[in-house]
Amino acid sequence: MQPAGPLEGKTILVTGAAGQGMGRGIVEALEACGAAVVGMDVSAAAAEELRAAHPQLLSLVGDVSVEADVERVFDEAAALAGPIHGVVNNAGIGLNRPFHEVTAAEFERIHGVDVRGTWLVSRAFASRAIAAGRAGAIVNISSVHGTATAPGYAVYAGAKAAVDGMTRGIAVDLGPHRIRCNAVAPGYVHAAQNVELIRGFTDDPEGWIDTHTDDFQLLNHVVEARDCGDTVAFLLSDAARSITGQTLLVDAGLTTALYNNSFTRRTR
Ligand SMILES: NC(=O)c1ccc[n+]([C@@H]2O[C@H](COP(=O)([O-])OP(=O)(O)OC[C@H]3O[C@@H](n4cnc5c(N)ncnc54)[C@H](O)[C@@H]3O)[C@@H](O)[C@H]2O)c1
């Protein structure tokens, strides 16, 4: 008989679950740990694809930045899947544009999804868990940009720094209710769509990824979505029962080193 997985018996709601990048890695990792997953995604077509790929998963459609959608999805999830034990705030959008060229609509869209969405979903989860006297865990997907950033990412960096701050605040407010809250902050995560994004600022995306991996990370491998998913699963599990309010960087050392590797080699 297989030993019980660390998330056996737990139902976890994952926003942006139908995404081709992180969503996929998070869903795979949670299912591998025995969790029942409820997906929430704004794209009905992507939610349908997720349902087809994971028939055992409940895939619901809703926009995390819209209060009524979030409340409806939580009510549907409770009716169809029973109590929710944890949430992963993965839905997020990025933007690479110098901050003085960003429009007010773009600013509001990023903060609406990345910050307001994280707050609305966490609030919907926590209020129900507290009312039921249920312990739980929240994992917010932040980014290395919450810690250090690069040209064109000021608005995204501000949103992810807000996610890190809110992670600490949620941990403080919900600790007495036995609800933990942590964040996972990925660096560059390999996905076909990201290669296309990189093509927006260089003609050689493969070369950019090689240099990023070889020269700027301390570990010489490309970070995969599943690496982040496994960290999310750990933070949701009882193995992390004493961890709350933390942002865990899953970036192969990108933000730890003061100097890039080629510069460090010159000083040996
Ligand atoms: N991919 C990376 O390299 C990377 C690095 C650091 C952080 N992140 C973070 O990881 C998360 C996922 O990123 P990704 O690259 O996998 O993106 P993705 O675009 O592949 O997936 C995001 C999913 O979220 C859904 N979504 C978007 N807006 C939504 C909304 N308002 N309500 C509900 N669902 C919505 C999309 O439909 C999509 O399915 C984001 O928070 C992002 O900031 C990604």
The reported pLDDT for the residue numbered 121 is: 99
Residue 147 has pLDDT above 70, yes or no: yes
Per annotation, catalytic residue among 153, 156, 188, 259: 156
Rounded to the nearest angstrom, the distance between the alpha carbon of 19 and the centre of ligand 1 is: 6
The reported pLDDT for the residue numbered 268 is: 64
Percentage with pLDDT > 90 across the chain = 94
* pLDDT tens per residue, range 199-210: 988 999 999 999
What residues flank ligand 1, with Cβ below 6 Å?
A: 15-16, 18-23, 41-43, 46, 63-65, 90-94, 113, 117, 141, 143, 186, 188-189, 191, 193-194
Distance, CA of 170 to CA of 146 (rounded, Å)? 17
Percentage with pLDDT > 70 across the chain = 99
Distance, CA of 21 to CA of 254 (rounded, Å)? 19
CA 175-138-123 angle, 5° bins: 80
Residue 111 has pLDDT above 90, yes or no: yes
Rounded to the nearest angstrom, the distance between the alpha carbon of 21 and the centre of ligand 1 is: 7
* pLDDT tens per residue, range 150-177: 999 999 999 999 999 999 999 999 999 9
Segment 171-188 shows an average pLDDT of 98
Contact of 22 with 228, CB cutoff 8 Å: yes
**N-term to C-term CA, the chain:** 53
The reported pLDDT for the residue numbered 197 is: 87
Known catalytic residue at 188: no
The reported pLDDT for the residue numbered 192 is: 87
DSSP 2: P
Which band of pLDDT confidence, cut at 50, 70 and 90, is reported for residue 15? very high
Q: What are phi and psi of 160, to 5 degrees?
A: -75, -30
Other C-beta atoms lying within 10 Å of the C-beta of residue 88: 30
Mutate to test the pocket of ligand 1, among 93, 108, 118, 153 (most ligand atoms within 8 A of CB): 93
What's the mean pLDDT when you consider all of the chain? 96
Segment 106-124 shows an average pLDDT of 98
**Hey, whose CA ends up nearest to atom 1 of ligand 1?**
189
Report CA Rg, the chain. Answer: 18
Question: Taking the complete model, does pTM exceed 0.85, yes or no?
Answer: yes
Distance, CA of 213 to CA of 152 (rounded, Å)? 21
Residue 2 has pLDDT above 80, yes or no: no
The reported pLDDT for the residue numbered 4 is: 84
Residue 24 has pLDDT above 70, yes or no: yes
